[in-house]
Amino acid sequence: MITTATSIERRAEFATEAEFVDRFIGKLAQGRTTFGKVQITKEWDHHTGFVDVLVRHRRKTLVAFEAKLDNWKRAFHQAYRSTAYANKSYVIVPAHVAIRALRERGEFELRGVGLCSFDGKSVQVLIEASEQGALLTWLRAQAHEHFDALEDERRVEPRRSCRSALPAMRV
């Protein structure tokens, strides 16, 4: 494989996939994306694998995100697997990778998987995910139980001083 200065430049945006995911979570936590204010958990184990980021809206909608720095096809397969329990499922990749993935728009639309790009500053929904009914209702229920447990943990934590602007976010 030949590496060019351009490809090195493109990958320098994020040193690792973990950094990419953490910065994406940071953006979601601000509530300034098209997904609005959400509860967030990362690396949620759903017994057939892990989902990179799982969020829940106040209206109890589950949205799964599979993140990759380069291999969008692998993320696509993982995101499709998440449609078995999540209301919506997305692939999230850097913008230059999203351009390649958009060539397969028909496959994304056929499977109901969405595509997002993230450049470290903004999240763009390039293909909207389809609303999914739960094939694995027990797994959807388990995801909601996970978020409910996070809420319960926050309720029993001792109150922080008034100087603290925001309570700690659990991810």
pLDDT digits (tens, 9 = 90+) for 59-104: 789 999 999 999 999 999 999 999 999 999 999 999 999 999 999 9
pLDDT of residue 155: 57
pLDDT at 55 (0 to 100)? 94
pLDDT tens readout for residues 42-62: 887 777 778 899 999 877 899
Q: How sure is the predictor about 135, in pLDDT bands with cuts at 50, 70 and 90?
A: confident
Q: What is the pLDDT of residues 140-169, one digit of tens each?
A: 888 888 888 887 666 555 544 443 333 344
| pLDDT for position 49 | 77
Structural contact between residues 44 and 54, judged by C-beta atoms closer than 8 angstroms? yes
For residue 106, what pLDDT is reported? 97
Q: Is the pLDDT of residue 10 over 50?
A: no
Helix (H) or strand (E) holding 67: strand 62-67
Beta strands in 86-128 (DSSP E): 88-93, 114-118, 123-127
Rounded to the nearest angstrom, the gap between the alpha carbon of residue 121 and the centroid of all alpha carbons in its chain is 15
